[in-house]
Structure 1
Amino acid sequence: MKNNMLKTAIAMATSLASVSVFASGFAINEQSVSGMGTGFAGRASAADDASTVFGNPAGMARLKREQMTGGVTVLNASTDISNVSSSPNGGSNDGDMVPLTGVPMGYYVKPINEQWSVGVGMYAPFGLVADYESGFAGRYFGSKSAVEVMTLQPTVSYAFNERISIGFGPTINRIAGELESSLSLNPMAPDGEVKVKGDDIALGFNVGVLAQLTDSTRVGLTYHSQVDYTLEGETEVDYGLLAMLGYSTHQQYDAALELTTPESVDFSVTHELNAQWTLHAGSTWTRWSRLQTIRVENSGVPGGLTGQFGEITEQQNWHDTWAHAIGASYKLNEQWVLRGGLTVDQAPTNNIDRSPRIPTGDRTIFSIGAGWTPTPELTIDAAYSYLQEEAVKVNNSAHGQRYSAEFENSANGFAIGATYRF
């Protein structure tokens, strides 16, 4: 019999998605404060500051001064849960499962000569923290998730001429995750608890090209590679009924889970309409169809429990997604720039496999921002985004437990950052 503990281990990969705030699946968009102000519409073509290390490494060629860019985005998400039906009956559905979360970023770019520039960036491309309240009605299908991916990217760019440049950066990526879920083998007994931990380090790369088509229009194309991980850690089970089978109430197994974060392609256009107005448009394709089946292997499992705790396969059946954005910036004067943007983003999940760990639907995001340059050396950027998702249904059942509900997510993002030019 397949056990919910194993479903929890499998969900280590997909739990990243449970309410990943401003991008589809378990991607995070918050790698640039200036870009957030326009809804990331010009991410591959704007090259406004050193955060272009992520947005398009070829954009470093446009930065003629050595500079550092850093910032943080604070995310505050909420969920409205309605039309709930569960078995066993009872339990809460507060929907307050995402704590206030900060996403940091930092970049450095140094021009070497007219052709070459080097840089480095540190940012979070994927991640989530989700923690349902104690006694959550859907706790058997996921109660807590804490996962993050941090990336270090050394980068180089080369300008063929004043019109065309390319850039490349290998990425060093570390993933770490911790999950908790309730476990019940007997409805007459108290719930047990399952904890899953794992981490890994893997390599990928970002590559981009930037072309100044006319004096007022440039286009950018960026490819973010897939990254293949093998998370290694342990699965811990604390449940008293195992003692009835002759085993300790505390079980710990070595766990391994293979996960691929998908490749994506960003294309955007930046057009300087006049001295005040700059327009941006962009699209991002993400190959979420890589997440079809997830397999968890636990070693060190006693023979009597191998059928339950040894290996399990679960279908996810995610599909590829598109995100589209438009935005604009207005130069109020030499010191102030105002920004705004609109983004629509598909969710990769489907109505059959969606769970409380992944209760996401298609989303619409409204963004505003501003940049203040009090001196030629310093720019301070701020941005705000509001996200609203479509209402989606969750309908899960396994081993005598059942949970169905309607989830509707929303979120606010606040970001502040600075660029200093040497």
Structure 2
Amino acid sequence: MKSFHPLILLALTGSATQALAGGIQLYEVGQEGAGLANAGSAALASDPSVLMSNPAGIAALKGTQVSLNGQAVLGDLGFQRDSGNDFSGNEGGNPLPILPGSSFFISHAVNDRASIGFGLYGNFGLSVDYGDDWAGRYFTEKSTLLGISMQPTFAYKINDDLSFGIGPRLVYGYYNTEMAVDNNALLPVNPFKQDGQLKYKDTTTGVGLNLGLRYRMDARTTLGLAYTSKVKLDFEDSPQAKGIQNPLLQQALSGVQANNLELDMNIPQTLTLSVAHQLNDRWTLLGSANWQDWSDFGDIAVSLDTAGGTASGTVNRQYQDTWHLSFGAQNQLSPKLRWNMGVAYDSSAVKDQDRTVDNPMNETWRLATGLNYQLAPDMDVNLSYTLVWLGDMDVQQSKRSGETLSGTYPNSALHIIGGGVTWRF
């Protein structure tokens, strides 16, 4: 959500709306740096996963290095209705199932100046599933948005202190969503006991570019500056409806189903500045500041309001740019064991009044820790844990008929557990 809105929670908007929300862009893909809450991400270069955050970093790696990582995102998020709610149904339970992920990185020093590398990773997207009996089913039932990146990388040492890197990025995007349609809409009585369903699924690809500079100010201090361009994902498919018994809704949906629905989404561009300072033989202090262009995420949706029986065009999700600040430290407990720790803050991509049940984002705090152990002279293993705290999130979302889904997500959080291994040849 990177910002934690940064891996983004996603789903659809409106009454049986076909709209893409945001998601979470995660910093954590199982690598050692996950235990630092992104602190120093563009300055540190301890393994080839650095090419994801700063492609210039692989110029500091010797020989050939390979990292294989995995992580699991566990949600702790639940909606609770309040007295202002007009919809029947349950509260959806925990809509965030366990979301597993993995990544692969490799780097190779061609000579004293040039290095090449490759990364396969997924740090964008999330999945929610409220079920088909929850109170907000006419807004969304389930939705999955995933972005998998493939990034060849080239880095070059301009001199002993300054390196630059470039990594063209190919992103494979997958989007799948479902919502309920109220068969009794537009009718004075309620003859239908079952809801209809509206589904949409598509895959696409997009391209972008990662750029980076890494500068060693002195023997103890390193700066990193990294930029990732936006990646445009154009989903285009025909929505599929089933179980629509209301003839008025059948007519309204016929036009939506007859044509392909285009959903244009931009994975936001980002800019990161990081610093790493070796205080002494044991301690290294780290920091990062980051900006993400969420205001350009996309104004995308086709809204079908069952109360009005009409379809509308795009919906502006009112996203806003986010910023991130993190601080961390590494403690070399022994020649083989390193302890990582970090804290980070991310602003919210939506204002409180614009929050929706398909997009229950908020400002977030990260607390992270991890261990890296040298199992053999040519192999390290790492484990990390990150708490992503979203706090309380109030939501009020209305249909044109005036019915309101109202409630809160209390004490919301994500738990991210990761680990990996790095081989050096």
Mapped pair 1:65 → 2:82: no
| Count of aligned pairs | 400
Q: TM-score, normalised by structure 1?
A: 0.89
Is 2:201 the partner of 1:197? yes
1:46 aligns with 2:44: yes
Q: Secondary structure at the match of 1:53?
A: helix
Task: Tell me if the contact between 2:252 and 2:310 (Cα under 8 Å) persists in the aligned partners.
Answer: no
Q: Judging by fraction of residues, say which structure has more strand.
A: 1
Distance (Å, rounded) in 1 between the aligned partners of 2:359 and 2:244 = 29
Q: Kindly indicate whether the alpha-carbon contact (under 8 Å) linking 2:372 and 2:380 is maintained by their aligned counterparts in 1.
A: yes
- 1:136-184 Cα distance to aligned partner (Å, 9 max, x none): 1111111101110001000000001110000001001111101011111
2:135 matches 1:137: yes
Q: Which residue of 2 aligns with 1:177?
A: 175
Measure, in 2, the Cα distance between the counterparts of 1:249 and 1:138: 20
Q: Counterparts of 1:264-283 in structure 2 under 5 Å?
A: 264-283=270-289
Q: Determine whether 1:285 maps to 2:287.
A: no
- Is the CA contact 1:78–1:95 (under 8 Å) kept in the aligned structure 2? no
Q: Which moved more, 1:234-243 or 1:373-382?
A: 234-243
Structure 2 equivalent of residue 10 of structure 1: 19
Cα pair 1:355 1:395 within 8 Å, conserved = yes
Give the aligned partner of residue 420 of structure 1: 423
Give 1:247 shift. 5.8
Distance 1:3 1:88 in 2: 15
**Partner Cα distance (1:215, 1:261) in 2:** 36
Partner of 1:338: 339
Q: Tell me which residue corresponds to 2:34.
A: 36
Identity of aligned residues (%): 26
Equivalent position of 2:265 in the other structure = 259
Deviation at 1:356, TM superposition (A): 0.7
CA distance in 2, matches of 1:193, 1:180: 7
Residue of structure 2 in register with 1:229 after alignment: 233
Equivalent residue number for residue 403 of structure 1: 405
For residues 41-61 of structure 1, give each alpha carbon's deviation from its aligned partner in whole angstroms, at most 9, with x where no partner exists.
011000110101101110111
Deviations 1:220-251 (A, max 9, x none): 01101101221112211124334467769998
8 Å CA contact 1:323–1:343 kept in 2: the answer is yes
In structure 1, what is the Cα distance between the partners aligned to 2:253 and 2:166?
52
- Separation in 1, partners of 2:352, 2:235: 27
Q: Give the Cα–Cα distance (whole angstroms) in 2 for the partners of residues 246 and 32 of structure 1.
A: 47
User: Corresponding residue for 1:74?
Assistant: 72
CA contact (8 A) 1:180 1:196 kept: yes
**Counterparts of 2:248 and 2:293, CA distance in 1:** 46
What's the secondary structure of 2:310's corresponding residue? Answer: helix
Question: Aligned in 2, Cα 1:92/1:218: closer, same or farther, shift over 3 Å?
Answer: same
Conservation of the 8 A alpha-carbon contact between 2:15 and 2:303: no
Whether contact under 8 Å (1:86, 1:138) holds in the other structure is no
Rounded Cα–Cα distance in structure 1 between residues aligned with 2:250 and 2:367: 57
Structure 2 stretches lacking a partner, 5+ long:
1-12
SS at match of 2:350: coil
Answer whether contact 2:337 2:372 (CA < 8 A) is retained: yes
SS class of match (2:52): helix
Q: 2:303·2:315 contact (CA, 8 Å) conserved in 1?
A: no
Q: Greater shift after overlay, 47-56 or 226-235?
A: 226-235
Residues 7-56 of structure 1 deviation map (CA, whole Å, 9 limit, x = unaligned)? 2x212xx1x42xxxxxxxx3121235211111110110001101011011
Give me the whole-angstrom Cα distance separating, in 1, the residues matched to 2:252 and 2:348.
Answer: 42
Which secondary structure does the structure 1 equivalent of 2:354 belong to? coil
Deviation of the 1:336 alpha carbon? 0.5
Residue 377 of structure 1 deviates from its aligned partner by 0.6
Structure 2 vs 1, CA of residues 349 and 215 (structure 1 numbering), >3 Å: closer, same or farther?
A: same
**1:317-338: per-residue Cα shift (whole Å, max 9, x none)?**
1111111111111111111001
SS at match of 1:289: helix
CA distance in 2, matches of 1:246, 1:223: 47
1:97 aligns with 2:95: yes
The whole-number CA distance in structure 2 between the counterparts of 1:179 and 1:83 is: 23
The answer (yes or no) to whether the contact 1:157–1:168 under 8 Å persists in 2 is yes
C-alpha RMSD over aligned residues: 2.3
My pick for the range that moved more, 229-238 or 280-289, is: 229-238
Aligned-pair CA distance for 1:88: 4.9
| Alpha-carbon distance in 2 for matches of 1:389, 1:287 | 20
CA distance in 1, matches of 2:420, 2:83: 44
CA-to-aligned-CA distance 1:46-105 (integer Å, 9 cap, x gap): 011010110111011110120101111111111143343566542111431111111211
Q: Gaps (5+ residues) in structure 1?
A: 18-25, 299-306
